[in-house]
Structure 1
Amino acid sequence: MTWTDLPGERPFVLLATRAEDLPADEEYALFLRYTGLPAERLRRVRLERDALPAFDLDEVAGILVGGSPFNASDPLEKKSPVQRRVEAEMAALVDEVVARDIPFLGACYGVGTLGTHLRATIDGTFAEPISVVEVSLTAEGRADPLTDGLAETFAAFVGHKEAITTLPAEAVLLASSPTCPVQMFRVGRNVYATQFHPELDVDGIVTRIHAYAGFGYFAADELETTLAAVRRAPVTAPSRLLRTFVERYAR
C-alpha cells in the first residue's frame, strides 16, 4: 500500500483497536483536532476490523497508537483471536519502529505494545481507575523536545488495568504520577509511549465511560462517581504533545 498521494507531504498513521464505532470515531476526531492534521494526512487503520496493511515506513511521517480495550498482560487463553492477531502485527511493526527509530507515539495501549517489545514487566500493580491524575515530568522529561511547553506537573486523564512496573535500562523515563511510576517514556530518540491519554478531552472520556461501562474499569454502581472523577479538574495540557509530535516530524 502506498500513502504518498500528497506530493511532498507524508501522512501520519493512526493505529486503532476500538470495536465500538462511537468511541472509535470520536477517538479519530480527537486525534485530528489535537494534532491539527486534516483527515487526508492522518490515515486511520482499525486493526480490530482489518489486518495491518503492508506499507513502507519511509512513506509515513510518524505513527500514532490510540487506546484499546486489549490488555497485553492478559493470559493467552483469555485473548480473542482478533487480539492475538493485532498483537502479532503490532509486535512486528514495533520491532521495526524501534530498530529504525521511526517517529512513534503510543497513547495508553502504546505502553503495552512498546513495553512488550522491551520485555518490561506489565501487570496490574499500578492500574489506575478512570480519573484525573497529576503527572510530573522527570529531569529527562523536562529536557525532552516532545514535552516542550508543558508544565513540570500537569493534569491528565487515565484509566487502565495494567501498567509497567519498572522500565528496562534502554528506556528513558519522562513522566510519572503518585499512583503509576511509568506515565511516559522514550526509546531511542523518536519512539514514545504515554500511559495517560493526550488525545482526550472531558467529552471524549465521558463517551468512553459510557461505552465501556461493562468492561471492568469500574463497578456497576460507580458510574456517577467515575463521571465526577473526570470532571474534578480541568485537563488541557497533555494534548500539546500531539501537536508538538506532528510539528516535529511532519517535515
Structure 2
Amino acid sequence: MNIHFILHETFEVPGAYLKWAQDRGHQISSTKVYEETPLPDTVDGIDFLIVMGGPQSPEEDRQAFPYYDPKAEIAFIQKAIAADIYIVGVCLGAQLLSVAYGGKYEHSPEREIGVYPLSLTEAGLVDEHVKGFGETLNTGHWHGDMPGLTDKAVVLATSQGCPRQIIRFSPKHYAFQAHLEFDLEAIDLLIAADGEEHLLEQHKVLSFVQTPEQLRAHDYSQMNKKLFAFLDSLTQGKTFK
C-alpha cells in the first residue's frame, strides 16, 4: 500500500502511525504543510491517507499560519472520500475529515492535554476495528476542539472531557481526536512547542491538563500496540498492490 501523510507542523509527528507503516513494509509519501509542500494533484496511487494534527482549525484565516490552506486540504480529503481509499484523521485531521463530510467542527467542552481514558460506546464495542480497544483505554490527548458530526457519523468512543473521541464516517474512514500515536519523542516535541511554564499554568486552572513531568512519565507502548492492531484490522493486513 502507498500511505500518504499530511503533516502540519514539525512538532506534530506521526509517531506510531509512521512506525506501523514502516514495520508493515508500506510505501510512504507525505505533504509537509509547514514547508509549503503542495498537496498532490490527485489521490491516484494513494491507498491510505493519514491527516495529522496541528494547532490550526478547519476555518483558519491563514494570518497566523500562512502556509496552511484548510480549504485545499478539505477538497483533497473529499477526493479521497470519493475514491473510497482508507482515511484516518488525527486531531486537526479528524476535524478536517468531519468538515469534508459536511459536519461542523466545534470546541471541546474541556481542553485535554495528557493521558486519560477513552470509553467505547455501544457502537464502539461492536465496531469491527475498534472493539479490540476494550471498554476503556488510556490514550494521549492534546486538543481544545473536536470533530463535527453528520447524520451517518457514529461516535465510537468518548472521554470525560470530550464526547467525540473516535468517530466512524464510513467503513474505511475514521476520525481520532485522541492521539494513540504518542511516544516520548512526540511528547517532548509538543512540550517544547507549548512551553513547560505554559503547561504548568494550564495545569493549575484546567481539569484535564497534566504537567510536563506527568506527560513524560507515561508508558505509551500499550496505546501504540492497540493502534497497530486497529490499523492492521482496518487494512486487513494488506501490503503492496
Please state how far the C-alpha of 1:163 moved relative to its aligned partner.
1.6
Quick one: structure 1 residues 182 and 248, their matched pair in 2 at CA, closer, same or farther if it must change by over 3 Å? closer
Structure 2 CA distance for aligned equivalents of residues 36 and 198 of structure 1: 17
The two structures have a TM-score, normalised by structure 1, of: 0.78
The within-5 A match list for 1:190-229 is 190-213=172-195, 218=199, 226-229=211-214
Residue matched to 2:169: 187
Identity rate, percent = 21
User: Is the Cα–Cα contact under 8 Å of residues 130 and 229 in structure 1 kept in the other structure?
Assistant: no
Residue matched to 1:6: none
User: Is the Cα–Cα contact under 8 Å of residues 71 and 161 in structure 1 kept in the other structure?
Assistant: no
Please tell me the root mean square deviation across aligned C-alpha atoms, in Å: 3.0
Residue matched to 1:138: 121
Structure 1 CA distance for aligned equivalents of residues 142 and 202 of structure 2: 17
Please state how far the C-alpha of 1:170 moved relative to its aligned partner.
1.6
Question: Secondary structure in 1 aligned to 2:77?
Answer: helix
| Corresponding letter in the other structure for 2:46 | V
Please state how far the C-alpha of 1:77 moved relative to its aligned partner.
6.6
Please state how far the C-alpha of 1:247 moved relative to its aligned partner.
5.4
Matched, 1:52 2:54: no
User: Is the Cα–Cα contact under 8 Å of residues 147 and 241 in structure 1 kept in the other structure?
Assistant: no
Please state how far the C-alpha of 1:68 moved relative to its aligned partner.
1.1
User: Is the Cα–Cα contact under 8 Å of residues 130 and 158 in structure 1 kept in the other structure?
Assistant: yes
Deviates further, 39-48 or 178-187 = 39-48
Please state how far the C-alpha of 1:217 moved relative to its aligned partner.
7.0
Quick one: structure 1 residues 89 and 153, their matched pair in 2 at CA, closer, same or farther if it must change by over 3 Å? same
Question: Secondary structure in 2 aligned to 1:93?
Answer: helix
Please state how far the C-alpha of 1:71 moved relative to its aligned partner.
1.9
Please state how far the C-alpha of 1:32 moved relative to its aligned partner.
2.6
Quick one: structure 1 residues 152 and 235, their matched pair in 2 at CA, closer, same or farther if it must change by over 3 Å? farther
Quick one: structure 1 residues 153 and 29, their matched pair in 2 at CA, closer, same or farther if it must change by over 3 Å? closer
Question: Secondary structure in 1 aligned to 2:142?
Answer: strand
User: Is the Cα–Cα contact under 8 Å of residues 125 and 135 in structure 2 kept in the other structure?
Assistant: yes
Per-residue displacement from partner, 1:196-225 (whole Å, max 9, x unpaired)? Answer: 1121123421321112329x9736686996
The total of aligned residue pairs comes to 231
What stretches of structure 2 of length at least 5 have no aligned partner? Answer: none
Structure 2 CA distance for aligned equivalents of residues 230 and 129 of structure 1: 12
